[in-house]
Amino acid sequence: MKRQHTVIVAIVAVVLAPVAVIFLWPGRTSGVEDAAGMERSILLAIPIGTPVSDARRFMVAEGFECRDSTEPGYMYCDRHDGSVVQRRWQVSLVHRHGKLTEVRVDTGLVGP
């Protein structure tokens, strides 16, 4: 019985460890300067096939404000980094049947 308990605990730990790293690791997208780098960082954390609810949770944890599009299959996330001159990040999370299918990233500088 004790061996069975140990095996179950080990399986749960192996399954939950990657999830904890994804959602508890601070600033996976901070310090990124270009759209291609942001796309890579996002896809490392929320790969294609990730449930949309998990993708939203990750993006919000990274400081993005996310909203569903009026067009089905899209969620838009927006973030500003900086103070006077800011870098604006616009990320489209494309999904189908509740799963992430594509990440599109655009960025630019905004300021006076």
Domain ranges, ordered by start, for the chain:
2-110
How far is it, in rounded angstroms, from Cα 90 to Cα 39? 11
Q: Which pLDDT belongs to residue 67?
A: 98
Query: Three-state SS for 63?
Result: coil
pLDDT averaged over 10-residue windows placed end to end, the chain, 112 residues:
60 51 65 95 98 98 96 96 94 98 97 87
Q: Which of 97, 55, 98, 99 is nearest to 77 (CA)?
A: 55
Q: Which of 112, 102, 13, 110 is nearest to 49 (CA)?
A: 102
Per the listing, tokens 């990233």 go with 105
Q: Which residues lie across from 105 on neighbouring strands?
A: 91
Q: Which pLDDT belongs to residue 11?
A: 61
Q: Which pLDDT belongs to residue 22?
A: 47
Q: Which residues contact 41 (CB under 8 A, 6 or more apart)?
A: 28, 29, 32
Q: Which pLDDT belongs to residue 112?
A: 84
